[in-house]
Amino acid sequence: MTASPSPSVLDLAPVIPVVVVEDLVDAVPLARALVAGGLPAIEVTLRTPVALDAIRAIADGVPDAVVGVGTVISPGQVSDALAAGARFLVSPGWTDVLLESMRASGAPFLPGVSTTSEVVALLERGVREMKFFPAEAAGGAAYLKALAGPLPQARFCPTGGVGPANAPEYLALPNVACVGGSWMLPADAIASHDWDRVEALARQAAGLGSAQV
């Protein structure tokens, strides 16, 4: 039995924004801009002290957002993120302990992989949806294309080095459901609170999916 929900978080939009929230006051307007631009699934990474508070603020203040948590590497982070309102879990890699914690949470999860053996190991454990990370450094679209033949049952969200220039190449692959990235969140736009620009960039990213149909 797989851990994937129906519908899958991978199918909500062609791009999952990977968000690093430095200032808590940015969390809600940033999420509103992404949702308005057509990117409802938002991965808030656990890389800053305010990350859990940001997840809580988005969950409470942006009902149309499907807020998730990224950079999950321990069972404690799983429980903390869910308590804050996270609706899906993303890890850069996985162990059996972490995998079982994510599975037991009942939330959709994307364990990170970068090798064929890791993919096979997850398929053996009933997991079919995965994060491919770090995508470009681990072989990029060519690597995932090579996996599609022998392992067609695996679906991926490549993240790491993915941007508007190479996202279409990934999205054209049969085993790629969406990509993760942060290019729609340029640092200068966040610093100046230019949420209209973030929304415009999010809308462009959301449009990448229609080009692959």
- 145 catalytic? Reply is no
| Model pLDDT, residue 211 | 52
Give pTM, 2 decimals.
0.94
Q: Does pLDDT of 5 surpass 50? A: no
| Model pLDDT, residue 152 | 98
| Model pLDDT, residue 2 | 42
- Quote the mean pLDDT of the chain: 95
176-180: average pLDDT: 98
Q: Does pLDDT of 79 surpass 90? A: yes
157-175: average pLDDT: 98
34 vs 16: CA distance, rounded Å: 10
Which tens digits make up the pLDDT trace of 19-32?
Answer: 999 999 999 999 99
Which of the 8 DSSP states describes residue 1? -
If pLDDT is split at 50, 70 and 90, which confidence band does 4 have? very low
91 vs 89: CA distance, rounded Å: 7
1 vs 172: CA distance, rounded Å: 27
| Model pLDDT, residue 209 | 77
187-198: average pLDDT: 98
In one letter, which amino acid is 179?
A: V
| Model pLDDT, residue 7 | 67
Nearest C-alpha neighbor of 87 from the set 106, 74, 101? 106
Q: Does pLDDT of 198 surpass 50? A: yes
Adjacency order of strands within the sheet including 129-132: 112-113, 129-132, 155-158
Q: Which of 129, 131, 145, 169 is catalytic?
A: 131
29 vs 58: CA distance, rounded Å: 9
147 vs 143: CA distance, rounded Å: 6
Q: Does pLDDT of 145 surpass 70? A: yes
If pLDDT is split at 50, 70 and 90, which confidence band does 200 have? very high
Which tens digits make up the pLDDT trace of 89-143?
Answer: 999 999 999 999 999 999 999 999 999 999 999 999 999 999 999 999 999 999 9
Q: Which of 43, 118, 124, 129 is catalytic?
A: 43
